[in-house]
Amino acid sequence: MMPLYSTAVESLDLRGFDLVISSDSGPVKGVRVDPGAVHICYCHSPMRYLYDGYEAYRAQMGSLTRAVFTASAGRLRAWDLKAAARVTWFIANSEYVAARIRKFYGRESVVIHPPIDLHRARTVATPGKHYLCAGRLVGYKRTELMVEACKRLGRPLRVAGTGPDLAALKKLVNVGDVVFTGELSTDALWQEYAECCALLFAADEDFGMVSLEAQACGRPVIAYGAGGSLETVRGTGDAPTGVYFVKQTVESLMEGILRFEAMEAAGEFAPKTIQSWAEQFATPLFLQRLRNFVLEKVPGAAVAMTPAEVL
């Protein structure tokens, strides 16, 4: 459907509004607004498949899809750049995304991290001995690294989620090596967070909500030390909330797991400290930061808010 993105988005006619806030990880920034309107774009990332991830995405496509993608990507990229130029102000969901906005759109942005639902957080008296990875099973999540690392080390792993890579991942393991839970309810997923010994996170993510959700339950994270994980996981210094591994390879992840286990045995991870770190990303703080930004840029918006909303 990518060739239709620009036409579909431009059919969202938001003329008549003084302020438009878009939540964008693709083309939504291109909605039609009045020339004098303020458009604030909360950007989760410029489209990877049009910019730095173009070749990687293209290589994974079938021949027909690749042909359509190749023929339409250039036109959509040009349209996306024009749409970005029309945005009044950008908000980035991480410093990592702010750098990508600067690189691809030539625009500056303020960083406001996304919110997590702390009311869903819970702890258990004795977490399990197994590791957990959670998320959609697609290539860039690098789930195969986590499966193979645990297989080689003989560590139990639970994989929460489903996706197009599920069948291929199941072929990597013997019965009992890894448990594939399938898609879980929100409550069941948060229970998985609370019960694991640590979350494994191998993706180069723009932010990484899963890591913070696990930390909200007091569980450490073993994360690839790049992208948004450098902002969501405290992997160095005092009071760590996890550890980083330096390369997206099985061997590097194995080293990270072993280093985590040594630190865990030494008592270096405190659940309450980990939870306190996650609380910095709570929903009320996000709302306050977003309101402050809107009122700074559009003071007149306060007239339409109740006193409680302004505060």
Q: How far is Cα 130 from Cα 288, in angstroms, rounded to an integer?
A: 37
What does the pLDDT read at residue 309?
Answer: 57
* pTM for the predicted model, two decimal places: 0.89
Residue ranges and CATH numbers for the domains of the chain are 2-114 (no CATH), 124-278 (3.40.50.2000)
Structure confidence by residue, pLDDT tens digits, 113-132:
999 999 999 999 999 999 99
**Residue type present at position 277:** W
What does the pLDDT read at residue 195?
Answer: 98
13 touches 32 (CB < 8 A): yes
246 confidence band (pLDDT: 50, 70, 90): very high
Q: How far is Cα 282 from Cα 307, in angstroms, rounded to an integer?
A: 21
307 confidence band (pLDDT: 50, 70, 90): low
Q: How many CB atoms are located within 10 Å of the residue 125 CB? A: 4
Q: How far is Cα 181 from Cα 143, in angstroms, rounded to an integer?
A: 14
Q: How far is Cα 255 from Cα 194, in angstroms, rounded to an integer?
A: 24
